[in-house]
């Protein structure tokens, strides 16, 4: 099966002189993909400077900032700067894709008889789950504000989604809701697959 690739990434860190440990250092940046939250390391074009949180094109057409995608990386390979900025960048991405994530709350289903997808998100327990299912049956949620207004004492939806995405990136979860899970032959010189629930496709 041909896998869909990330079209855009958001900058976590930019190293204009590359790594001194490399034989031929070149400007590199670490990015997180906008759709499947794939972590990348890329080289930039000459005289290009990237800034934290900048959105860049990664697709097959002409790339204004990115020369080439070096590889897909895992969380432990992120620089200290990338790790410190990750949550802020993830929050920007989630906010920019509000409709997609609200749709997740409207459409998420059970993983088994005992476990629902929504329960994998820290902060959503049995009581919140019951309310979400009841309220969305009455009328689908329109946005994050509507979700918080109609579900009693629900934590900030953006914050708990970001928390779940970070956990998946760190490799501490077995079920993937939002992040491309590890798998061979993803076309990026690394590993990749798809979230088990087709989120964002």
Determine the structural domain holding residue 149 and report its residue range: 95-170
**Closest by alpha carbon to 103, among 194, 192, 198, 8?**
198
**pTM listed for this prediction:** 0.88
Asked if the structure places residue 111 within a domain, the reply is yes
- In CATH, what number is assigned to the domain containing residue 104? 1.10.150.280
When divided into structural domains, the chain yields a total of 1
Mean pLDDT of all residues belonging to the chain: 90
Asked if the structure places residue 140 within a domain, the reply is yes
Q: Give 146-162 pLDDT, tens digit per residue.
A: 999 999 999 999 999 99
Asked if the structure places residue 152 within a domain, the reply is yes
Asked if the structure places residue 158 within a domain, the reply is yes
Residue 21 is predicted with a pLDDT of 75
Residue by residue, DSSP assigns 34-56 as SSS--EEEEEEPTT----TT-EE
Asked if the structure places residue 24 within a domain, the reply is no
d(CA 107, CA 140): 9
Residue 23 is predicted with a pLDDT of 73
Asked if the structure places residue 187 within a domain, the reply is no
Quick one: tokens of 68? 């080439």
Residue 3 is predicted with a pLDDT of 60
Asked if the structure places residue 131 within a domain, the reply is yes
Asked if the structure places residue 1 within a domain, the reply is no
Residue 186 is predicted with a pLDDT of 53
List of the chain residues with pLDDT < 70: 1-3, 183-201
């Amino acid at each position: 099966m041909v896998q869909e690739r990330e079209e855009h990434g958001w900058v976590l860190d930019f190293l204009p002189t590359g790594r001194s440990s490399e034989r031929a250092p070149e400007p590199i940046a670490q990015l997180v993909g906008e759709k499947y939250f794939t972590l990348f390391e890329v080289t930039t074009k000459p005289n290009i400077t990237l800034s934290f949180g900048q959105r860049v094109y990664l697709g097959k057409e002409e790339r204004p900032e990115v020369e080439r995608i070096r590889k897909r990386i895992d969380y432990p390979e992120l620089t200290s700067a990338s790790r410190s900025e990750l949550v802020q960048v993830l929050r920007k991405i989630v906010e920019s894709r509000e409709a997609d994530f609200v749709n997740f709350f409207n459409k998420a289903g059970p993983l088994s008889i005992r476990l629902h997808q929504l329960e994998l998100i820290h902060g959503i327990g049995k009581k919140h789950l019951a309310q979400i299912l009841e309220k969305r049956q009455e009328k689908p949620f329109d946005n994050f504000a509507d979700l918080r207004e109609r579900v009693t004492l629900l934590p900030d939806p953006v914050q708990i989604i970001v928390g779940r995405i970070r956990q998946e990136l760190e490799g501490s979860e077995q079920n993937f809701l939002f992040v491309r899970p590890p798998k061979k032959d993803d076309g990026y010189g690394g590993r990749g697959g798809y979230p088990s629930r087709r989120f964002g496709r």
